[in-house]
């Protein structure tokens, strides 16, 4: 074959790929400006596993609507909507999920997932704590070097160990055991990706979605929708005698961590702890054995995120925006961490809904249910240089929740709050906070959100969020 023929053949393949785009685009896709340098090994691409039809809504192809929060900035967020047909996957177990995020390869060739446009449909329940044959793995299966919780608490009992940081054989055994679990439950996600649950019952259990670029190469353009995330749980919490006055157990995994990534849309999911609910956990050294970290933590210069129509349930530290007051991450965070939260339900959450450092965070039309929750700490954490702009949020509380506790002050100086309703009364929760505390927070913001579709009146928030948040049936 001469050179011209090879080029023509390659152009034909490129054209075929465009014609076989998984999602019907509103406007014709432009011809590729750069021809692929290598032809794919197998010419015909398989038909998409879920064929979009004109009549049926296809969540996998949907993009974030214009103006819908910070993730709509610039070119907006389309996730994998531009996927070629051979980058559309339906996954039913951990192995298939990881393969889908790595161009179909398992085990993945590296810890860097694919940035090719792709749509991953999640069908049924996927458990991350399984081996490659989908056999369930327990915490005991991960334990290495003689680690047991009994041996660990014996070694580090403050009565004998004291209050210095833990170190030595059993701490090393814990770290090694944790690493074994990490290899199973950590799911790395690349750019240009949509992960979406099929129907209303798609569930991912025990996984940590680690969405992480680097300081010099951020990821971008990711959509996670319509999935119930359960029990991102660490079998090997670390005892930190120096954390707080009495020490604390700390864990590694969030359901989703966003770091060094921009343009992310997290929508219509449920996040909850069931099998590993805090209420079922033991206490060691008088402290709750905390097997969870955050639910959706947004740190390390993550930026332009819209979090909409999710249910956050039965979790303590729910959403950390910005991880540190000082140091290298703080320098990188300044000017980033722009997040919109709207129409989310926060039900029986303990704290950090969200806790904010640095970022311009728009919080509107969310519904907070804080009833019969003895461990409630606060809802909005006003941290260092945080710029929260809160409008028309509804709080349902019982008499154990003081109005002054809805806002927590973590070295912040200002917040804009308007239209807050608590138990059918319009309440100035900032005035309540300031009346109860010596250190005052100013009622102001140096910015005004412009990426907004519509802020609805606070009186309809309960019904809108109760009926609309969480996975939808499609």
Active site residues: 352
List Cβ neighbours of 337 (8 Å cut-off, separation of 6 or more).
298, 299, 301, 302, 303, 321, 322, 356, 357, 358, 359, 360, 361
Query: For 72, which DSSP code?
Result: G
Q: Are 316 and 349 in contact (CB under 8 A)?
A: yes
The whole-angstrom separation of Cα 242 and Cα 174 is 18
3-state SS, residue 408: strand
Query: For 84, which DSSP code?
Result: B
Q: Are 256 and 219 in contact (CB under 8 A)?
A: no
* Beta bridge partners of residue 196, listed in sequence order: 121, 225
Q: How far is the CB of 236 from Ca ion (least distance, A)?
A: 15
Identify which of residues 254 and 391 has a Cβ nearer to Ca ion in the complex: 254
Q: How far is the CB of 317 from Ca ion (least distance, A)?
A: 7
Q: How far is the CB of 252 from Ca ion (least distance, A)?
A: 8
Q: How far is the CB of 328 from Ca ion (least distance, A)?
A: 17
Q: Are 310 and 266 in contact (CB under 8 A)?
A: yes
Q: How far is the CB of 249 from Ca ion (least distance, A)?
A: 7
Identify which of residues 178 and 393 has a Cβ nearer to Ca ion in the complex: 178
- Residue 108: CA count within 13 A, CB half-sphere: 22
Largest CA distance in the chain: 82
Strand boundaries in 168-269, DSSP class E:
186-188, 193-197, 203-205, 208-212, 219-225, 228-230, 238-240, 248-250, 256-259, 261-267
Identify which of residues 248 and 464 has a Cβ nearer to Ca ion in the complex: 248
Identify which of residues 278 and 428 has a Cβ nearer to Ca ion in the complex: 278
Identify which of residues 70 and 209 has a Cβ nearer to Ca ion in the complex: 209
Query: For 47, which DSSP code?
Result: P
Identify which of residues 86 and 254 has a Cβ nearer to Ca ion in the complex: 254
Q: How far is the CB of 34 from Ca ion (least distance, A)?
A: 39
Q: Are 338 and 305 in contact (CB under 8 A)?
A: yes
Binding site for Ca ion (CB under 5 A): 248, 250, 254, 293-294, 297
Query: For 335, which DSSP code?
Result: T
Q: Are 301 and 337 in contact (CB under 8 A)?
A: yes
């Amino acid at each position: 074959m001469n050179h011209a023929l090879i080029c023509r053949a390659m152009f034909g393949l490129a054209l075929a790929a465009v014609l076989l785009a998984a999602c019907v685009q509103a406007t014709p896709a432009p011809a590729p400006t750069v021809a692929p340098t290598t032809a794919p090994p197998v010419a015909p691409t398989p038909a998409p596993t879920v064929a979009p039809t004109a009549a049926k809504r296809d969540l996998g192809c949907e993009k974030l609507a214009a103006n819908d929060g910070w993730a709509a900035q610039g070119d907006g967020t389309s996730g994998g909507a531009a996927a070629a047909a051979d980058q559309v996957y339906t996954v039913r177990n951990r192995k298939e999920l990881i393969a889908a995020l790595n161009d179909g390869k398992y085990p993945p060739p590296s810890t860097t997932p694919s940035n090719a446009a792709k749509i991953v449909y999640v069908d049924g329940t996927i458990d991350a704590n399984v081996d490659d044959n989908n056999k369930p793995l327990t915490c005991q299966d991960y334990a290495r070097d003689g680690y047991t919780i009994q041996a660990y608490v014996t070694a580090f009992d403050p009565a004998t160990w004291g209050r210095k940081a833990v170190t030595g054989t059993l701490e090393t055994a814990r770290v090694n055991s944790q690493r074994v679990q990490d290899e199973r439950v950590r799911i790395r996600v690349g750019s240009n990706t949509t992960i979406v649950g099929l129907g209303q019952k798609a569930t991912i259990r025990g996984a940590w979605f680690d969405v992480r670029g680097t300081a010099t190469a951020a990821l971008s353009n990711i959509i996670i929708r319509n999935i119930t995330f359960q029990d991102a749980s660490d079998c090997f919490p670390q005892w930190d005698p120096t954390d707080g006055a009495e020490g604390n157990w700390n864990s590694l995994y969030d359901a989703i961590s966003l770091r060094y990534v921009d343009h992310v849309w997290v929508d219509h999911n449920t996040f909850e702890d069931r099998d590993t609910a805090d209420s079922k956990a033991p206490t060691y050294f008088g402290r709750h054995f905390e097997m969870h970290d955050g639910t959706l933590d947004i740190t390390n210069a993550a930026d332009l995120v819209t979090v909409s129509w999710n249910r956050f349930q039965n979790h303590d530290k729910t959403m950390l925006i910005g991880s540190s007051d000082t140091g290298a991450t703080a320098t990188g965070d300044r000017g980033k961490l722009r997040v919109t939260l709207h129409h989310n339900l926060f039900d029986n959450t303990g704290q950090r809904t969200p806790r904010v450092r640095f970022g311009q965070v728009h919080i509107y039309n969310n519904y907070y249910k804080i009833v019969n929750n003895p461990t409630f700490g606060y809802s909005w954490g006003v941290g260092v240089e945080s710029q929260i702009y809160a409008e028309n949020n509804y709080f349902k509380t019982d008499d154990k929740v003081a109005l002054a506790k809805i806002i927590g002050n973590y070295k912040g100086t200002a917040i804009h709050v308007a239209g807050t309703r608590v138990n059918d009364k319009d309440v100035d929760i900032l005035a309540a906070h300031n009346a109860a505390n010596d250190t005052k927070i100013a009622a102001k913001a140096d910015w005004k959100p412009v990426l907004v579709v519509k802020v609805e009146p606070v009186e309809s928030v309960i019904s809108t969020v109760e009926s609309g948040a969480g996975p939808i049936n499609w």
